[in-house]
Structure 1
Amino acid sequence: MNKNKLFFLSILVLVFSFSSCQGPSSKRIIKLGHGLGVTHPVHEAMLYLAKKVEEKSGGEMIVKIYPNQQLGSERELVELLQIGSLGMTKVSSAALEGFAPTMQVFGMPYLFRDDAHQLSVLQGEIGKKLLLDPEKYLLRGLCYYDSGKRSFYTKDKPVETPADLAGLKIRVMESNTASNMVKSLGGSPTPVSYGELYTALQQGIVDGAENNAPSLYTSKHYEVCKYYSIDEHTALPDVMIVSTKVWESLNEQQQKWLQEAADESATYEYKIWAEATEEALNEMQKAGVMISYPDKEPFRQAVESMYSDLKVQQPEIYKIVEEIRAVK
């Protein structure tokens, strides 16, 4: 059975089961699917969210979590949200840009000055507005999760300068911004589903990828890629989103429970993310991964043309860049 048929069947199953979300016990069950493994800190944050929803509602409302791409890839999960067959998912802002164009601003390399600047943006008016922008596409952002900074990891040699990416096939998410960034740095961007990436690395379909340290560690990609070059080219937040069809089916009290639980889970996730990053780097070094910290300036210079192009081609997105840069 091909993938399209499997996906179509999964939609039918979910559509059929959606009516059971309001069970005979009058409990409201919301399904949350995502692509990460159960040891990932973001999965832990989602468990925390589910716990808080149950506590706040006195058991009247349940968030049921399906990790490891059980219900589909990141893109497929977002599509299921749009038709209301799935309640919630965690998605990278990079993958979300294909559905909500303003989200692509987060994929611009070296956008934030530092962690404090990023947090000010996400927790301020700009961040709040961007969370709600996808509503016109039937998706509502609830909160941001820290997803660290993305850097390159490779199989055969470290990436110390942009020139080292020449001729390398680098896995990217389904994001035009991510593809343009890798092209600007001299690499060959190759979209691969996160769940299929380990095999793609093993088989040489790609020569490397780019991600944060906890994801590299929990995915076990470090077993194949022994070079991690921390150039920190992007700081893409993860976004917890809910189907607007599901959100609008909740009463005001249920919406309040869910939003409060999401906000509290984000605070919790930021705390455990730093710990997970430190642990991941330590454990990967023990496993023989060579970690390096290349000079970022050549990388910054190589991608500067992306901002020039953005200003001309998408002035509305460039305006958001300017607003972000103006945040103190």
Structure 2
Amino acid sequence: MKYIKSTALAVLASATFATAATACEITLRSSDTHPDGYPTVEAVKHMGSLLEERSGGRICVEVFHSAQLGQEKDTIEQTQLGVIDLNRVSLGPFNNIIEETKVFSLPYIFRGTDHMHNVVDGEVGEAILAEFSNHNLVGLAYYDGGSRSFYNSQKPINSIADIEGLKFRVMQSDVFVDMVDALGGNATPLPYGEVYSSIQTGVIDGAENNWPSFESSGHFEVAGYYTLDQHLIVPEVLVMSKASWEKLSADDQALVRQAAKDAVPVMRELWAAREKASEEKVRAAGVQIVEDIDKAPFIAAMDPVYEKHVKSDKLKMLVEQIRAVQ
């Protein structure tokens, strides 16, 4: 059944690709669940512009935004199969595929955005990107995913006690599920595209995400309470299908890798601007924002999550290395 499903996805994706313009010698087709204009989408477009210029027009990137090729779980599978060439995905869905990515999804592992940047731009970040090659993927670059916080339709969350019994959508990651459970909530893994209607109909009470996602998805329209507990600062990742990668010459591989890296500063600049604009829009809409919250009890509650998911010596070493980065 899994093979049949994968094949069906491949056929559907191929049909979509067939309609796309392919003016270049090599067209790399890229997937993103976010809408057109979102910082991650624009960053990949910028990467494409760099590639086209540096290759003399031989290599182009075509971005399929707004989940045109499916939700993240399905697009990861398609990328591993070689149907999709490039894919921008949160690291969360990779947690159950590539063990090392778990460390970036651990609650409160990063002290702030600057700390996260220093980690992913350094040795730890490169080491984890290298792990993708064992799963039919090539890790190219990290993007910002902002600070993730809880929002819901029921009540303001001022403490852990307010989370008790609330149903929160999480990404399909055991770490995320265990994080919500440790806080007393009920974790419900769902595709990103189902969150709005699920909150609206009461299937779930809320979710957790950053300012731009909370705003661009329209979730703020159905979830009027947002608590800035900032439990996660999970990077996003740009990956390439290993099958697609191996079709390129060594020189073209170097062009792709460098263009991906060079698009990161652009993404970060766009992200900072978008984060500010999204926050302003959400506040103007009348969403109740809880800012003054004691994070210490939230951090303390994460001990069981670390004990469960950081078992191997390798993961323990990665956690120590991350904490040592200034």
Following superposition, the deviation at residue 260 of structure 1 comes to 1.7
Matched residues in 2 for 1:117 and 1:6: separation? 40
Instruction: List alignment gaps of at least 5 residues for structure 2.
Output: none
Following superposition, the deviation at residue 237 of structure 1 comes to 0.2
* Residues 287, 14 of structure 1: alpha-carbon distance in 2 compared, 3 angstrom cutoff: closer
* Residues 227, 67 of structure 1: alpha-carbon distance in 2 compared, 3 angstrom cutoff: same
2:95 corresponds to which residue?
A: 97
Please give the per-residue CA displacement for 1:189-245, whole angstroms capped at 9, x wherever unaligned: 001101111111111111000001011111111011111100000110000000111
* DSSP 3-state at the match of 2:305: helix
Say if 2:254 is the partner of 1:256: yes
Following superposition, the deviation at residue 254 of structure 1 comes to 1.4
Matched residues in 2 for 1:177 and 1:314: separation? 15
Following superposition, the deviation at residue 6 of structure 1 comes to 7.7
TM-score after normalising by structure 2: 0.93
What RMSD, in angstroms, separates the aligned Cα atoms of the two structures? 2.3
TM-score after normalising by structure 1: 0.93
Following superposition, the deviation at residue 319 of structure 1 comes to 2.0
* DSSP 3-state at the match of 2:263: helix
Is contact 2:108-2:232 (8 Å) kept?
Answer: yes
Q: Which residue identity lines up with residue 228 of structure 2 in the other structure? A: I
* DSSP 3-state at the match of 2:246: helix
Is contact 1:68-1:195 (8 Å) kept?
Answer: no
1:69 corresponds to which residue?
A: 67
1:187 corresponds to which residue?
A: 185
Counterparts of 1:239-278 in structure 2, within 5 Å, are 239-278=237-276
1:323 corresponds to which residue?
A: 321
1:133 corresponds to which residue?
A: 131
Q: Which residue identity lines up with residue 84 of structure 1 in the other structure? A: G
Among 35, 53, 60, the residue aligned to 1:37: 35
Counterparts of 1:1-328 in structure 2, within 5 Å, are 8-14=7-13, 27-293=25-291, 294-311=293-310, 313-328=311-326
Q: Which residue identity lines up with residue 47 of structure 1 in the other structure? A: K
Following superposition, the deviation at residue 310 of structure 1 comes to 3.6
Following superposition, the deviation at residue 45 of structure 1 comes to 1.4
* Residues 247, 204 of structure 1: alpha-carbon distance in 2 compared, 3 angstrom cutoff: same
Is contact 2:153-2:222 (8 Å) kept?
Answer: yes
Following superposition, the deviation at residue 316 of structure 1 comes to 2.6
Is contact 2:41-2:63 (8 Å) kept?
Answer: no
Following superposition, the deviation at residue 292 of structure 1 comes to 1.4
Is contact 2:6-2:78 (8 Å) kept?
Answer: no
Matched residues in 1 for 2:129 and 2:226: separation? 31
* Residues 39, 6 of structure 1: alpha-carbon distance in 2 compared, 3 angstrom cutoff: farther
* Residues 221, 206 of structure 1: alpha-carbon distance in 2 compared, 3 angstrom cutoff: same
* DSSP 3-state at the match of 1:32: strand
Which sits farther off after the overlay, 179-188 or 294-303? Answer: 294-303
Matched residues in 2 for 1:285 and 1:116: separation? 25
Is contact 1:139-1:244 (8 Å) kept?
Answer: yes
Matched residues in 2 for 1:8 and 1:224: separation? 36
Matched residues in 2 for 1:198 and 1:205: separation? 10
Is contact 1:147-1:212 (8 Å) kept?
Answer: yes
Following superposition, the deviation at residue 86 of structure 1 comes to 1.0
* Residues 303, 208 of structure 1: alpha-carbon distance in 2 compared, 3 angstrom cutoff: same
